[in-house]
């Protein structure tokens, strides 16, 4: 054998031994460490998710139990009237969960600001499948789940569209102003809360 070949064989054996005794154990250790860290992160995220879910459920429960009586009465009155008409009604601008909970604007029959805000606060957390079970399931589903981005946007867009539809009409100035102010207050006041529970 030539010296060059012996040197190459020796180097290959040395590289193999270095790989087997040094690099492979280091790589195995690094893989194990990455796996351990990934598992710790999974457990941490799972615990965070469970904590957020628990906080959200507690918040929903306390808000629902603390709902003003007038909202519950309005909802029952609306259901009674709805059923007396045979369940007929168009779902959209004029009939919404907000209407079912007694939301009204304007100077003639409108509610005061604090009551409207209470209704909007209740609407974002309400379980529509329970409180408005008399409405079609497909319609309730369009409004999203409690404290969801879908629910937030649906309520906000509903208020904005009501204002847009009446904007410029005579005798609707107060109603339009109420809808716009309520929409802005609602989005500002509830966006952070909805974002907080987004991953739940």
Q: What percent of the chain has pLDDT over 70?
A: 96
DSSP three-state, residue 67:
coil
Contact criterion met (CB below 8 Å) for 162 and 155: no
Radius of gyration for the alpha carbons in the chain, expressed in angstroms and rounded = 30
Query: What is the length of the chain?
Result: 200
Is the pLDDT at 198 greater than 90, yes or no?
A: no
Separation between Cα atoms, residue 138 and residue 162, nearest integer Å = 22
Would you give the DSSP letter of residue 19?
I
Would you give the DSSP letter of residue 146?
T
Q: What is the pLDDT of residues 149-179, one digit of tens each?
A: 999 999 999 999 999 999 988 989 999 999 9
Chain center to CA of 145: 7
pLDDT of residue 1: 55
pLDDT of residue 3: 75
pLDDT of residue 4: 77
Contact criterion met (CB below 8 Å) for 91 and 118: no
Helices vs strands, H then E, count in the chain: 9, 0
Separation between Cα atoms, residue 81 and residue 57, nearest integer Å = 31
Mean pLDDT for all residues in the chain: 89
State pTM to two decimals. Answer: 0.77
DSSP three-state, residue 173:
helix
Q: What is the pLDDT of residues 4-32, one digit of tens each?
A: 788 888 888 888 888 888 888 888 888 98
Please tell me the least confidently modeled range out of 19-28, 32-41, 49-58, 189-198. 19-28
Q: What is the pLDDT of residues 76-112, one digit of tens each?
A: 999 998 888 876 665 555 678 999 999 999 988 999 9
């Amino acid at each position: 054998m030539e010296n060059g070949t012996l040197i190459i064989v020796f180097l290959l054996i040395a590289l193999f031994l270095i790989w087997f005794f040094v690099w492979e154990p280091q790589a195995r250790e690094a893989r194990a460490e990455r796996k351990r860290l990934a598992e710790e992160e999974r457990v941490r995220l799972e615990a965070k998710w469970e904590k957020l879910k628990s906080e959200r459920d507690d918040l929903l429960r306390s808000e629902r139990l603390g709902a003003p009586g007038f909202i519950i009465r309005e909802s029952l009155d609306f259901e009674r009237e709805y059923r007396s008409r045979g369940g007929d009604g168009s779902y959209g601008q004029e009939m919404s969960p907000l209407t079912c909970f007694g939301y009204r604007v304007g100077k003639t029959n409108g509610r005061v600001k604090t009551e409207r805000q209470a209704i909007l606060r209740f609407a974002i957390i309400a379980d529509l499948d329970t409180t408005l079970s008399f409405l079609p399931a497909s319609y309730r589903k369009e409004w999203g789940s409690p404290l969801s981005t879908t629910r937030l946007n649906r309520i906000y867009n509903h208020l904005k569209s009501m204002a847009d539809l009446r904007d410029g009409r005579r005798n609707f100035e107060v109603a339009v102003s109420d809808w716009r102010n309520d929409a802005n207050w609602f989005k500002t006041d509830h966006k952070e809360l909805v974002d907080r529970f987004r991953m739940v």
